[in-house]
Every structure is written in C-alpha cells, then in structure tokens.
Amino acid sequence: MEHDGTCLLIDLGFTVKETEKRLRRVGRSPADVAAVLVTHEHGDHIHGVAPFARKHCVPVYMTSGTYNSKRLGHLPQLHVISCHESIFIETFEITPVPVPHDAREPCQYLISADGRTLGLLTDLGHVTRFIEEQYSQCDALILECNHDVKMLATGPYSARLKKRVAGNYGHLSNEQAASLLTKVDLDRLQHLVIAHVSEKNNMPMLARDEICSASERWSGKLWLADQSDGLDWIDLA
Ligand SMILES: [Zn+2]
Ligand SMILES: [Zn+2]
C-alpha cells in the first residue's frame, strides 16, 4: 500500500526476482519500498523477506515470535514489534492484531493514514470477538476466503492437513469470512478484496457467492486477489 509517497509491503513469499517483476508491474521499484511488515513465518509469507531486505536494504518489522521461529540470517534493519502496540512509519499508523493461527506469534494488520483504514485479515482459523471489534471500521478490507468447506472435505489433502486447515488455528472458510461481514459495520467499506484463496479447495465463484449473499445491501466494490496476477492499485476515496 502507498500513501503520500511511502510504500509498504506486507509479507513477501516470492523470490527477489519475482518481487522486482511484480513491483515493476505496478509502476514501482524496490527503492520505493519503505518497509516490509511480516505477519508470520509460514513460507508463503516470509520466503522472500530476508533476501529482498538484504539486497535492497529495506527495514523489516515483525514480532519476536515470528523472528525467532526462522533462521533469517542478517537483516539490515530489524524492528521487533509487539502484537499489542501500534507503530508509526512515516504517515502510516499500523496496528497489529493477534490472530489464532498455527504459527509462533502471528498478527495481521490495520493500516491507517489520513483518516482511512485498510484491514488485512488472512491466515486465521476463526474470528474472535476482538477481531470483529478491531475490523469494524475499515475503508478497505483484504479478507481471507481460503476454502469451501465441502471442497476441502472431499479434496486431495491428507486427513491431517484437512483437520489443520479447517481447525481453529487454520484458515477461514468462505462461510466464516462471510459471517464476519454480517458482524462489522460496512458503511465505510469501499473495497473488499477476497484473498488467500486455496487453488485446490476453493473456487473464486464460490467465495464470491458466499461474500455477496452476506453483504447484499453493501454497495462497495468486490475484488479478487489472484495468486498469479495479483492486483493493480486500488484508490481509496
Ligand atoms: Zn498463508
Ligand atoms: Zn499461515
């Protein structure tokens, strides 16, 4: 995300080369990246963080649990954050939100600037009351719709993995994501991005249908973050 010339990345699962390519695609270069915030240590979120930070000398923010769970090697500038305290980077106020997920100290983020708030919420097994409260006033929301319950149950994953994904510390189903939308205030929400969609246990159409039926009166714009294409810039009014 970007505000007032400050560009932040959250998580980096791609190689340095792929990240550079994806930045170019949205008209930015690594030199534009002011910091990388990390949510947790799972590979799809952290693989590229240290190599990118080293190559381009970018500061990295993460909890101590996340940092200590992986051998990341030298980081040019590491900021260890608390899950319970907001931090400030240039014009951004960033509020970490602890989430139930099978990682050491995972958090998701609310990012505010100029009176607008973007909520990022992926990689959690269930939505707690605290999370409902924290995400109740977003202007944009990137929300995990990981799996369709039936597709996961009948899909190719092992019994152990199915249990993990569907469990309290796994990932949000389409249903769980939709249910959150019935509990938060959608009046301010301009954009909703469906994200972290499983390629094996979900279909974009199923996620979309579930989300739409839970937010019938909502008039904002619905997007889908595709793993291969990503998303172009979305402007917040
Ligand atoms: Zn993930
Ligand atoms: Zn994860």
The CA distances from residue 156 to 113, 197, 200, in Å, are: 42, 16, 7
Query: Which ligand lies nearest the alpha carbon of 120?
Result: 1
How far apart are alpha carbons 70 and 124 in whole angstroms? 20
Q: What are phi and psi of 219, to 5 degrees?
A: -115, 15
pTM of the model: 0.97
Which fold does the domain 1-86 belong to in CATH? Metallo-beta-lactamase; Chain A (3.60.15)
Q: What are phi and psi of 20, to 5 degrees?
A: -60, -40
pLDDT tens by residue, 223-234: 999 888 889 999
Q: What are phi and psi of 118, to 5 degrees?
A: -105, 130
Structure tokens at 163: 């249990």
Spell out which residues have Cβ within 5 A of ligand 2, the ion: 42, 123
Q: What is the pLDDT along the chain (237 residues), one digit of tens a residue?
A: 999 999 999 999 999 999 999 999 999 999 999 999 999 999 999 999 999 999 999 999 999 999 999 889 999 999 999 999 999 999 999 999 999 999 999 999 999 999 999 999 999 999 999 999 999 999 999 999 999 999 999 999 999 999 999 999 999 999 999 999 999 999 999 999 999 999 999 999 999 999 999 999 999 999 999 888 889 999 998
- The candidate with the shortest Cα–Cα distance to 136, out of 174, 86, 97, 102, is 97
How far apart are alpha carbons 83 and 64 in whole angstroms? 9
Cα 196 to ligand 1 centre (Å): 7
Cα 4 to ligand 2 centre (Å): 30
User: What are the extents of the domains in the chain?
Assistant: 1-86, 115-227
112: β partners: 93, 117
DSSP structural state of residue 148: -
Cα 165 to ligand 1 centre (Å): 11
Torsion angle (degrees, nearest 10) of CA 189, 191, 196, 201 = 90
pLDDT tens by residue, 56-94: 999 999 999 999 998 899 999 999 999 999 999 999 999
